[in-house]
Amino acid sequence: MSSAERIDWIDFGKGLTVLMVVFGHVVLGLFESNRFESSETALLFIVQVFYLFHIPVFFALSGFFFKPILDLKCYFKYMKYKTIALGIPYIFYSIVQFILQSIGGSTVRNPASFSELLGIFHTPLGVSWYLYVLWWIYATLGVLTLWIKNHNYLLTVTIIAYGVSMIVPVKIYIVQKLLLWSFFFILGYWLRKSELTKFLEKHWKLIVSSTVLVIAIFMLFWELSKPDFYISYDTPGLLGLIFPISVFLAFASYPIMNRTNKFGSYFRRLGKDSIIIYLLHAPIVSVTRIFLLKLGIDNVFLHICIGLCAGWFGSTLVIYLTSKIPYSDFVFYPVKYLKK
């Protein structure tokens, strides 16, 4: 597999995975609204299926091209870049969410106060937690790689951290998040460095069928346990052992799915702008759900279809507009302009 092909399927993977994020948030919003009691069991089941997959895979895809830092000078330059690249979109999203939630008032499920907006430097709002945690992962692992360069050692350290996060979770928000999600980030890096991606692609039929079977069996037992919420992204407990299975499923299937003509090219193109879709879909989906409920529409299938279309095509419309309007994408890609 050439370097270019690897980049192609990573872009494809980001595009398809962010679609799953949009769908998962549409269904989760309906479940948490408590307005669809007759469908709550089905909604929770669907949420759990997608939440087993999308964020673990996203962190692995983000870590795929990670490189150890050579020295302190490189580290500070590296973190300056990451702070600008992730910080400006993070602040932009937080402000937008706060404004929209203030407008929504009592119709919003979890409204943010002004003090919470000011506190985004220690506690993120909404879906922006991914950018917040990703920045901390870059900062922490960057320091770690000043001493540890070997990808096998890095994986070992993060496996231990992952075990700690499941067995004895830490109450400090960012520490627990780092222990939990650094493993998936490094897993993506390790899969590239160890060249296991070639094995996964070569034996994709076996990998896909076996991982799907494992997930299906897990979901069966999970459903029989009569759960009232999906597995926590903060404190998953031993149930978190299922999350890595999704990464192997994705890394085996994405290179193959990427080869399909129109399907592959569509998600490759949008995968390059997955950050825009990730940040914008949440407020769009939320506003759409509130609007439909105010209209008296209570058909869960219609909510899912309309919410998904609004979240997806509303976000992709912004991608199109930012490609036509100069500098309009600064809040998503600030480094592109600061380089000039």
In this prediction, residue 105 carries a pLDDT of 55
Residue 2 pLDDT greater than 80, yes or no:
no
DSSP state of 231: P
Least confident of 17-26, 81-90, 157-166, 285-294: 285-294
**Which range among 3-7, 92-96, 177-181, 182-186 shows the weakest confidence by mean pLDDT?**
3-7
pLDDT digits (tens, 9 = 90+) for 31-57: 998 899 889 999 999 999 999 999 999
pLDDT band, residue 25 (cuts 50/70/90): very high
Are the CB atoms for 146 and 71 separated by under 8 Å?
yes
pLDDT at 340 > cutoff 70? no
Closest CA to 141 of 93, 94, 190: 190
* pLDDT interval class at 86 (50, 70, 90): very high
Q: Would you say residue 3 has pLDDT above 60?
A: no
Confidence of residue 108 (pLDDT cuts 50, 70, 90): low
Q: What is the mean pLDDT of residues 300-325?
A: 96
Rg over CA atoms, the chain? 20
- How far CA 237 is from CA of 73, 117, 118, 204, 219, in Å, comes to 38, 30, 31, 29, 16
The mean pLDDT value for 304-330 works out to 96
Rounded to the nearest integer, the mean pLDDT of the chain is 92
Domain ranges for the chain, please list them. Answer: 3-338
Copy the structure tokens of residue 213. 């079977």
pLDDT at 60 over 50: yes
58 is written with which tokens?
A: 């996203």
- In the predicted model, is pLDDT for residue 257 greater than 50? yes
270-294: per-residue pLDDT in tens?
Answer: 999 999 999 999 999 999 998 999 9
pLDDT at 209 over 90: yes
Of 250, 186, 232, 194, residue with least CA distance to 14: 250
Range 122-142 average pLDDT:
95
Amino acid at 43: L
Tell me phi and psi for residue 101, to 5 degrees: -70, -35
In percent, how much of the chain has pLDDT > 90? Answer: 83
Comparing 5 with 306, which gets the higher pLDDT?
A: 306
Contact partners, residue 3, CB within 8 Å, separation at least 6: none
Phi, psi torsion values for 35, nearest 5 degrees: -105, 0
Q: Which of 52-61, 134-143, 260-269 has the lowest mean pLDDT?
A: 260-269
HSE-CB at 201 with a 13 A cutoff on CA atoms is 17
Q: Considering the chain, what percentage of its residues have pLDDT values greater than 70?
A: 95
pLDDT at 116: 84
| pLDDT over threshold 60, residue 1 | no
The owner of tokens 């009592």 is: 106
The answer to whether the Cα torsion of 231, 187, 137, 255 is positive or negative is negative
Separation between Cα atoms, residue 17 and residue 198, nearest integer Å: 21
Give the residue-averaged pLDDT of 217-225: 96
